[in-house]
Amino acid sequence: MIKRREFIKRTAAAAAVLTVSQYAYSSVITQNKKEKLGVALVGLGYYSTDLLAPALQMTQKCSLAGIVTGTPAKAEKWKQQYNIPDKNIYSYDTFDSIANNPDIDVVYVVLPPSMHKEYSVRAAKAGKHVWCEKPMAMTEAECKSMIDAAKQNKVKLSIGYRLHHEPNTQRIIQIRKDLEYGKVVSAMAAAGYRDDRTTHWKQKKSLGGGAMYDMGVYPLNAVRYATGLEPIAVTAKASTTRPEIYTEVEETMHFDLEFPGGVTATCETTFGRSINILETKFTNGWYKLEPFQSYSGVKGVTSDGKVLNATIPNQQAKQMDDDAISIMKGKPMLVPGEEGLKDIKVVEAIYRSAGQNQRVKIG
Q: Which domain CATH number covers 348?
A: 3.30.360.10
Express as a percent the part of the chain with pLDDT over 90.
Answer: 90
Measured distance CA(129)–CA(109) in Å, rounded: 11
Domain boundary among 162, 189, 220: 162
The verdict on 122 and 194 lying in the same domain is no
Q: Where are the alpha helices (DSSP H) in the chain?
A: 4-33, 46, 53-56, 72-82, 116-125, 140-152, 167-177, 211, 217-227, 315-329, 337-356
* Domain with 48 in it: 34-162
Q: Tell me, yes or no, whether 42 lies in a domain.
A: yes
Q: Rounded mean pLDDT of 229-237?
A: 98
Beta bridge partner(s), residue 233: 258, 361
pLDDT tens string 126-142: 999 999 999 999 999 99
Q: How confident is the model at residue 12 (pLDDT cuts 50, 70, 90)?
A: very low
Q: Tell me, yes or no, whether 62 lies in a domain.
A: yes
Domain boundary among 112, 136, 162: 162
Residues 6 or more apart whose Cβ sits within 8 Å of residue 107: 39, 40, 42, 68, 98, 119, 120, 123, 126, 128, 129, 130, 131
Check residue 162 and give its pLDDT. Answer: 98
Q: Rounded mean pLDDT of 19-45?
A: 65
Q: How confident is the model at residue 24 (pLDDT cuts 50, 70, 90)?
A: very low
| Residue 313, preceding peptide bond in cis (omega within 30° of 0) | no
Check residue 21 and give its pLDDT. Answer: 34
Q: Tell me, yes or no, whether 7 lies in a domain.
A: no
The verdict on 348 and 203 lying in the same domain is yes
Q: Tell me, yes or no, whether 17 lies in a domain.
A: no
The verdict on 146 and 170 lying in the same domain is no
Q: How confident is the model at residue 4 (pLDDT cuts 50, 70, 90)?
A: very low
Check residue 80 and give its pLDDT. Answer: 98
Burial-class residue 301 by CB neighbours within 10 Å (0-12, 13-18, 19+): middle
The verdict on 275 and 180 lying in the same domain is yes
The verdict on 350 and 212 lying in the same domain is yes
pLDDT tens string 254-300: 999 999 999 999 999 999 999 999 999 999 999 999 999 999 999 99
Contact 56, 317 (CB under 8 A): yes
Q: Tell me, yes or no, whether 318 lies in a domain.
A: no
Specify the number of domains making up the chain: 2
Cα within 13 Å of Cα(123), Cβ side: 33
CA distances from 229 to 99, 255, 302 (A): 39, 16, 21
Q: How confident is the model at residue 363 (pLDDT cuts 50, 70, 90)?
A: confident
Give yes or no for residue 11 having a pLDDT over 80: no
The verdict on 207 and 239 lying in the same domain is yes
The verdict on 210 and 272 lying in the same domain is yes
For position 98, which CATH number holds?
Answer: 3.40.50.720
Q: What mean pLDDT, rounded, does the chain reach?
A: 92
Q: Tell me, yes or no, whether 322 lies in a domain.
A: no
Give yes or no for residue 56 having a pLDDT over 80: yes
Q: Tell me, yes or no, whether 326 lies in a domain.
A: no
Domain boundary among 117, 140, 162: 162
Q: Tell me, yes or no, whether 11 lies in a domain.
A: no
The verdict on 125 and 226 lying in the same domain is no
The verdict on 158 and 45 lying in the same domain is yes
Q: How confident is the model at residue 30 (pLDDT cuts 50, 70, 90)?
A: very low
Burial-class residue 343 by CB neighbours within 10 Å (0-12, 13-18, 19+): buried
Q: What does residue 190 show for φ and ψ, rounded to 5 degrees?
A: -150, 140
The verdict on 215 and 286 lying in the same domain is yes
Q: How confident is the model at residue 1 (pLDDT cuts 50, 70, 90)?
A: very low
